[in-house]
């Protein structure tokens, strides 16, 4: 009988330990293991903070998620892209103007490599190749729209060229020429100055003389006959190539190379001469290359400089110093061939190595890594494309691959400008929204909370600002400061204009909401406790109207973005060369741009539309997520 209480106490102690252990493990399970369907819907909602509820409701909105993802992509494209792809605002390349979107300039056909490369020549956005079998290939993209009676497709090789054995090809800037074995010359592409066709005088000369070489320049062409005569046609008046070659030179020309304003000629006595614009830097030939003291055996020319090789293997150059094109790098070996692009020079050495220098705007200096160790036997450089032929017949290409979004009227890459233009447009919209929201909160909350004469005075000021026509005032202020302030200060001014003129609508909404909130019991309780009015407004009333503010921020941001685009479109916003999506649309005012150069207005317009739509979708989703009545539907 005496042992029973002890036994009961022991049993009770063991039971208590088991309960304690179960409670402990249950606590750990609740802390670290999520149980599905443990809480009812009402219990789960009761445990969520308002912010979590809004966030959950937002992510149930599919269009809102699409808008958020889209806006994040736009931000990454503009702000991260601008870091990865810098822009040179001062660089223009008129030779590349109005080229349609493509990225295939260097995609040469495999058949050309199989048949063996005899010659490759490049235009602004295409290349033409001649195989050892006499077949012609063209690749790349059309350099411009097809003008009726003035051009034919550059990528469509004429049937007579395909049917005959071709011995020589050349590409001008936007046209191509081919010479067959019978001495007939064929041309296609842009022909606005008849540079892609043979004149009656030229046909007569072709029938009597053999051709040594054909040249292609910017809107003009030239042909060198074996007897040393040079004949040019096409757009030859601006560069004075329409003048006859001097008699003391005509008939003595062994080689000729073309630049936009001059033709440089190697004569039979090893001297160098030129025709064209006499004041051009290319025409300023050193005297020792004209008096016969140095014998030149080969020449090549970029658009701004000339490179000459003498019979001792020494190089001589002259012209503009731009892009460091006159700074010949050191190399080991003997020069066996040389060529030139628009802003670059190329040398082929006897050991099979390639030396290349000059500009690097389009990756011209980035030779393929797999070309290292290969013995190169031929080089072809023209415009911004470069090709090297190895001893085993393989082809290596580097330089301008193309433009994803095309180019504008100045030859600038639209892809790069859209990246940096987005950064400007998005920043202008964001700063202007911040300014307008701050002003709207100050005016709206002060007016709604204090009421009386303060409310009347502030609302009358709001009415004055609402009556101001936004676009005329913005245009007037922007045009007044043109030429008086720097471009950066002009961008700041646009932000301020958009912010100051955009706050009245939100201020009225905030005031209306404050009028409702200030009559509630929690405000009365805060006043009774002696809380300062400033703290009541900021710490107690503002959180209750902040949902409304967030929604209007997103919608106002889209509106500011469109306003900046509209101002820049009209020429009163961000001024070129600084890009913005709005000023990139300015060209759409021209009917020719709308009809022929669709990429110049459609692509920037799509980015403006996509950014504004994404922000509006986010704002609409936030509005529904914060509205309890909308969630009950």
The mean pLDDT of the chain is 85
- Reported as a single tens digit per residue, the pLDDT across 569-581 is 766 677 778 888 8
Classify residue 351: in a domain, yes or no.
Answer: no
- What residues pair up with 308 in beta bridges, in sequence order? 299, 316
The length of the chain is 633
At 52, is the pLDDT very low, low, confident or very high (cuts 50, 70, 90)? confident
- Reported as a single tens digit per residue, the pLDDT across 159-200 is 999 999 999 999 999 999 999 999 899 999 999 899 998 888
What long-range pairs does 494-498 form, CB within 8 A, spacing at least 24? Answer: 494/428, 494/432, 494/564, 494/567, 494/573, 494/574, 495/428, 495/431, 495/432, 495/435, 496/432, 496/435, 497/432, 497/473, 498/428, 498/429, 498/432, 498/435, 498/436, 498/474, 498/560, 498/563, 498/564
Torsion of CA 321, 327, 328, 330, to 10 degrees: 180
19: exposed, middle or buried (Cβ count in 10 Å: 0-12, 13-18, 19+): exposed
Which of 129-143, 281-295, 426-440, 473-487 is least confident? 473-487
299: exposed, middle or buried (Cβ count in 10 Å: 0-12, 13-18, 19+): buried
The whole-number average pLDDT for the span 363-382 is 91
Torsion of CA 623, 625, 629, 631, to 10 degrees: 140
Six token digits for residue 454: 């303060």
**What b/e string do you get for 606-626 counting C-beta neighbours within 10 Å, with b at 16 or more?**
ebbeebbbbbbbbbbbbbbbb
Classify residue 346: in a domain, yes or no.
Answer: no
Higher-scoring residue by pLDDT: 19, 414: 414
Torsion of CA 365, 371, 372, 376, to 10 degrees: -100
pLDDT at 18: 64
Domain that holds residue 435: 56-93+413-631
Q: Are 566 and 471 in contact (CB under 8 A)?
A: yes
Say which CATH number the domain at 622 has: 1.10.3720.10
The whole-number average pLDDT for the span 280-309 is 92
pLDDT at 554: 80
Query: How many other C-beta atoms are found inside a 10 Å radius of the C-beta of residue 280?
Result: 17
Query: How many other C-beta atoms are found inside a 10 Å radius of the C-beta of residue 508?
Result: 19
- Reported as a single tens digit per residue, the pLDDT across 433-485 is 889 888 988 898 888 888 888 889 999 998 888 888 777 777 776 667 666 66
Six token digits for residue 243: 């003048």
* Whole-prediction pTM: 0.81
Which among 303, 247, 616, 272 has a CA at the least distance from the CA of 429?
616
Higher-scoring residue by pLDDT: 481, 66: 66
Distances (CA, A) of 455 to 369, 449, 516, 542, 626: 72, 8, 14, 17, 28
Cis (ω within 30 of 0) for the bond into 577? yes
Classify residue 421: in a domain, yes or no.
Answer: yes
**What b/e string do you get for 187-198 counting C-beta neighbours within 10 Å, with b at 16 or more?**
bbbbbbbbbbbb
pLDDT at 632: 54
**What b/e string do you get for 355-386 counting C-beta neighbours within 10 Å, with b at 16 or more?**
bbbbbebbebeebeeebeebebbbbbbbbbbb
Classify residue 396: in a domain, yes or no.
Answer: no
User: Three-state SS across 53-71?
Assistant: HHHHHHCCCHHHHHHHHHH
- Residue labelled with tokens 């997520």: 625
Distances (CA, A) of 109 to 117, 178, 179: 11, 18, 21
Higher-scoring residue by pLDDT: 380, 521: 380
How many angstroms separate the CA atoms of 194 and 189, rounded?
Answer: 10
- What is the number of structural domains in the chain? 1
Could you give the angle at the alpha carbon of 301 between the alpha carbons of 297 and 304, nearest 5°?
Answer: 145
pLDDT at 383: 92
Classify residue 175: in a domain, yes or no.
Answer: no
Which of 6-15, 249-258, 477-486 is least confident? 6-15
Q: Are 563 and 548 in contact (CB under 8 A)?
A: no
pLDDT at 337: 94
Classify residue 80: in a domain, yes or no.
Answer: yes
Classify residue 433: in a domain, yes or no.
Answer: yes
Query: How many other C-beta atoms are found inside a 10 Å radius of the C-beta of residue 201?
Result: 10
At 1, is the pLDDT very low, low, confident or very high (cuts 50, 70, 90)? very low
Could you give the angle at the alpha carbon of 207 between the alpha carbons of 204 and 211, nearest 5°?
Answer: 105
pLDDT above 70 for 26: no
pLDDT at 599: 92
pLDDT above 50 for 31: no
- Reported as a single tens digit per residue, the pLDDT across 526-570 is 778 887 877 787 777 777 777 778 778 887 887 777 777 777 776
Classify residue 281: in a domain, yes or no.
Answer: no
Q: Which residues contact 9 (CB under 8 A, 6 or more apart)?
A: none
């Amino acid at each position: 009988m005496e042992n029973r209480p002890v036994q009961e106490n022991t049993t009770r102690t063991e039971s208590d330990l088991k309960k304690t252990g179960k409670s402990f493990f249950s606590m750990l399970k609740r802390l670290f293991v999520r149980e599905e369907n443990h809480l009812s819907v009402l219990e789960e909602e009761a445990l969520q903070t308002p912010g979590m509820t809004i966030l959950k409701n937002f992510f149930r909105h599919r269009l809102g998620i699409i808008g958020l993802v889209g806006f994040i992509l736009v931000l990454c494209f503009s702000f991260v892209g601008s870091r990865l792809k810098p822009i040179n605002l001062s660089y223009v390349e008129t030779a590349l103007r109005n080229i349609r979107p493509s990225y295939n300039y260097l995609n040469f056909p495999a058949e050309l490599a199989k048949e063996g490369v005899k010659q490759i020549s490049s235009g602004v956005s295409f290349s033409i190749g001649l195989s050892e079998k006499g077949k012609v290939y063209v690749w790349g993209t059309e350099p411009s729209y097809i003008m009726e009676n003035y051009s034919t497709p550059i990528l469509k090789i004429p049937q007579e060229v395909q049917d005959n054995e071709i011995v020589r090809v050349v590409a001008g800037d936007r046209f191509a020429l081919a010479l067959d074995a019978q001495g007939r010359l064929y041309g296609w592409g842009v022909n606005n100055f008849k540079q892609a066709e043979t004149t009656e005088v030229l046909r007569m000369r072709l029938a009597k003389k053999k051709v040594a070489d054909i040249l292609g320049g910017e809107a003009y062409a030239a042909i060198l006959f074996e007897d040393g005569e040079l004949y040019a046609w096409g757009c030859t008046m601006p560069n004075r190539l329409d003048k006859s070659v001097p008699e003391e030179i005509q008939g003595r020309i062994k080689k000729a190379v073309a630049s936009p304003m001059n033709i440089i000629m190697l004569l039979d006595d090893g001297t160098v001469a030129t025709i064209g614009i006499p004041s051009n830097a290319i025409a300023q030939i050193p005297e020792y290359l004209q008096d016969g003291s140095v014998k030149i055996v080969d020449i090549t020319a970029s658009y701004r400089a000339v490179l000459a090789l003498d019979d001792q293997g020494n190089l001589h150059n002259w012209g503009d110093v731009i892009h460091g094109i006159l700074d010949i790098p050191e190399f080991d070996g003997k020069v066996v061939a040389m060529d030139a692009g628009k802003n670059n020079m190329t040398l082929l050495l006897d050991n099979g190595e390639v030396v290349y220098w000059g500009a690097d705007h389009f990756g011209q200096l980035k030779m393929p890594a797999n070309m290292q160790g290969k013995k190169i036997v031929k080089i072809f450089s023209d415009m911004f494309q470069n090709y090297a032929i190895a001893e085993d017949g393989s082809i290596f290409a580097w330089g301008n691959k193309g433009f994803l979004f095309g180019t504008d009227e100045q030859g600038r890459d639209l892809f790069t400008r859209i990246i940096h233009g987005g950064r400007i447009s998005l920043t202008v919209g964001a700063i202007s929204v911040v300014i307008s929201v701050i002003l709207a909160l100050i005016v709206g909350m002060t007016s709604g909370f204090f009421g009386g004469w303060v409310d009347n005075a502030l609302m009358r000021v709001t009415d004055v600002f609402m009556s101001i026509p936004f676009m005329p005032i913005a245009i007037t202020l922007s045009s007044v400061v043109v030429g008086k302030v720097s471009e950066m200060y002009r961008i700041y001014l646009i932000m301020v204009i958009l912010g100051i003129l955009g706050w009245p609508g939100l201020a009225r909404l905030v005031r209306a909401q404050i009028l409702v909130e200030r009559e509630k019991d929690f405000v009365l309780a805060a006043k009774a406790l002696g809380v300062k009015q400033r703290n009541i407004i900021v710490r107690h009333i503002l959180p209750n109207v902040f949902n409304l503010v967030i929604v209007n921020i997103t919608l106002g941001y889209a509106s500011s973005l469109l306003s900046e685009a509209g101002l820049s479109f009209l020429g009163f916003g961000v001024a070129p060369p600084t890009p913005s999506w709005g000023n990139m649309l300015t060209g759409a005012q021209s009917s020719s741009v709308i009809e022929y150069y669709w990429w110049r207005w459609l692509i920037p317009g799509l980015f403006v539309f996509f950014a504004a739509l994404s922000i509006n979708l986010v704002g609409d989703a936030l509005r529904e997520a914060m509205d309890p009545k909308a969630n009950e539907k």
